[in-house]
A and B are shown apart, each in its own frame.
Chain A
């Protein structure tokens, strides 16, 4: 071909203009013909009449332009122009919403604009015939360009680089017609051979397809990343849109505060808050915060002003220290009939109901529930079970079970006449992150320091607002917001429900079975037995991988190969 010769005539700008003109005409004609063909096809609702008519229109294009195509496709004018046309077409497909429902589309672009966009298939560029047409012409161009070039060692890179895109397009083509992608939604124990298929390049489910085997979900699990608690400095949103939090827990969490600094828990050094005279330091971190209570050994001499009892309570929900206070209404009774088998009560002096019952005058209404009553002054426990009273001495350190219960009950730790003398010391019950709390010290420069306890879930009040500033301190973990993994154990079953294959699948490690790939695609934190298994059947996949690899090798050889031709322009 004369066009690609670097003869003096081709340096003529007129020659260049002509080359681009011819390429433009050919590409524009292709767009016109494919638009016409697709419109006709859709006009006939995809019937065979439409198919026939559109094929005729498509066939007319190469027939009419054969000579010109033959002369032009392998020129750099055509190459550059078609590459840029594909680039522009692809860009249109990102600027305009793709595959959007008609009403959404009209709302966004207006009625008349929508009509124009639909006519040109700008709402689904990647399935439009003109877009495919560009690739078809590009493939032709690549084929002819390669065909024309001598096959030898020097040109190896050139041929590989120019033939491999055809392979990639071929793989796409095969997948488009013979492949599908979809999803199988299963709950643990369920099996199916039906996959829901995605439409085109979307993630919208279209039809279903039957697989030649069944898939069963044997087990599913997912886990979040381990938490990583840090002390953070947050800045309040003081913008006009900032609003106090709805739950009334102060303005500190109004709007969307911005995190400005974060400090790992292992760091003990003093930190300064930028733009203020405030300093802070982490004093102590309690992975499982609790109070440790001690009572001075002088309890006999103290008047029973605010008597209480410290119990280590064991319920079906776990074990914890609990204080009951005789003189504080609402704090002297745990009315948990369901889980503890009755009520647990504490009084310093025996109450009226109990005194009467001890005299044999049981109040029927009072005796309807089972009760465990601790009387402080007497150091006695009274049990009221099914209307019958019994008692035993209350001793520190001994485990007492609740009426009709075996495993659950309480151990008395301290019985004290005045809660004012009870000392509570913050401590951690073990190293497990069950109830993380951080104790920080905060001070203004030169001022006295304040202690603050921070705990996660800021909206519940576990933050510390630094007075006189727009900053507050918090203890939060972000790391555990992200999923660490989710994994399905699946089995492939044959016609006789026999297990052919069993294996776990996780993201990035699909299972391959008879040309179908199964992926871990979806999960629902609300429903831990559900798993979404993605499925794909892509017979062209290896053609594409091969094509891509050859393309990279081809480019490398062409640019840096030992036997490449030295380029004239460099």
Chain B
């Protein structure tokens, strides 16, 4: 890993460092009541996010194509959407614990990306040389980022079912209901999950003459969609506890992680068109 780190671009190192600093800030913030310790990590996380944006933009220019092709590129983009969603959620719901959790997640994604680093930039095959590639990937990664953050708030709910005291929140409210936060983020993620599925079907039809090829990744995309659809319906069962709802979201996030990373382990993956190259 040190060898990989040695050869990465300066911008990658800077981004990683900033995310690490944000994480340190959040860790301190968990134990400190001052408003200062709520703002500093948030500011650091925002700067790290901007550095990550520059990293992606630079890659886009260097490669001369959207940087969503290789596993490494997709991991960096996943870190980017997760940071974006986390920053928005922290701002909107005034909870710094969300930033704390996501900065752990993002730092881990970045370290993982380091081990999957592309030494060479791969050119796009004909199927990926289309504008449809961009909205499909962006939809999915926004959804994944949002649902990942929803998974974190679901964990927060399980840990702190009664909500949290005000000193961990940045706003005026005295308690934060993580179950409701989870629902609102999940809803957003689900919308983009649906849009990503639609855009994928449309693109698949143009590229491979097939809107649905029963490809394992497509099937798992459907499975994750069904789990989150089930979550939305579980909410209509009055006696279904909020604790169980949180677990449904966590299972959904696990399914996303499997969809994203686990395809190589499936016997049906041999024919898949979605398995990442490189790494």
Contact = CB atoms under 8 A, between A and B. Distances in A.
Given A19-B237, A507-B207, A549-B198, A484 B227 contact: no
A486 B130 CA distance: 14
B89 to A, nearest CB: 15
A11 B119 contact: no
Interface string B171-197: 000000000100110011011001101
Which of B119, B234, B266 counts the most chain A CB atoms within 10 A? Answer: B119
Interface stretch (A90-98, A315-323, A445-453): A90-98
A513 interface: no
Contacts of B214: 93, 98, 126, 201
A421 B104 CA distance: 68
A51 interface: no
Contact of B206 (A262, A510, A551): A510
B220 A80 contact: no
Contact of B129 (A172, A262, A485, A510): A485
Interface string A448-467: 00000000000000000000
Contacts of A126: 214
Contact of A260 (B3, B203, B213, B238): B3
B122 to A, nearest CB: 7
Contacts, number: 174
Given A11-B239, A79-B233, A534-B209, A555 B194 contact: yes
Nearest to B263: A94
A11 B236 CA distance: 11
B202 interface: yes
A87 B122 contact: no
A151 interface: no
B122 A478 contact: yes
Interface string B116-131: 0001111111110110
B238 A510 contact: no
Interface in A235-277: 259-262, 274-275
Contact of B207 (A90, A508, A538): A508
Q: Majority SS of interface residues in chain B?
A: helix
Interface string B194-235: 110110011101111111111010011011001101100111
Contacts of A232: 119-120
Contact of A95 (B3, B125, B238, B266): B266
A385 to B, nearest CB: 53
- Size range of the chain B interface in the assembly: 35 or more
Given A519-B209, A559-B187, A559-B188, A83 B230 contact: yes
A84 interface: yes
Which of A19, A201, A508 counts the most chain B CB atoms within 10 A? Answer: A508
A433 interface: no
A534 B184 CA distance: 43
Contact of A13 (B125, B208, B239): B239
B182 to A, nearest CB: 11
A536 B191 contact: no
A536 B211 CA distance: 11
B268 interface: yes
A570 interface: yes
Interface in B227-268: 227, 229-230, 233-240, 266-268
A203 B209 CA distance: 11
Given A80-B234, A87-B226, A479-B121, A94 B216 contact: yes
Given A80-B233, A260-B119, A486 B126 contact: yes
B66 to A, nearest CB: 14
B234 A76 contact: yes
Contacts of A13: 239
Interface residues of A, number: 75
Contacts of A510: 206, 209
Contacts of B201: 544-545, 548
Contact of B211 (A15, A84, A541, A551): A541
B129 A508 contact: yes
A555 B124 CA distance: 33
B119 A16 contact: no
B195 to A, nearest CB: 5
Interface in B80-127: 119-127
Contact of A10 (B125, B127, B191, B238): B238
Contacts of B120: 230, 232, 259, 262, 478-479
A479 B184 CA distance: 43
B132 interface: yes
B243 to A, nearest CB: 13
A19 B124 CA distance: 51
A482 B237 contact: no
Which of A90, A274, A484 counts the most chain B CB atoms within 10 A? Answer: A90
Interface in A1-34: 4, 6, 10-13, 15-16, 19
B238 A11 contact: yes
Contacts of A509: 206
A519 B126 CA distance: 12
Contacts of A541: 205, 211
Interface in A183-203: 201, 203
A313 to B, nearest CB: 37
A330 to B, nearest CB: 41
Nearest to A91: B223
- 10 closest cross-chain pairs (CB), A and B: A507-B126, A548-B198, A76-B236, A87-B226, A225-B123, A482-B123, A83-B230, A534-B209, A536-B209, A16-B239
12 contacts: A19-B237, A80-B237, A83-B230, A95-B266, A95-B267, A232-B120, A508-B132, A535-B209, A544-B211, A549-B198, A551-B194, A570-B184
Interface of A: 4, 6, 10-13, 15-16, 19, 76-77, 79-80, 83-84, 86-87, 90-91, 93-98, 108, 126, 172, 181, 201, 203, 225, 228, 230, 232, 259-262, 274-275, 478-486, 506-510, 517, 519-521, 534-536, 538, 541, 544-545, 548-549, 551-552, 555-556, 559, 569-570
Given A93-B219, A94-B268, A545-B202, 7 more contacts: A108-B267, A260-B3, A479-B122, A479-B123, A481-B123, A551-B198, A555-B191
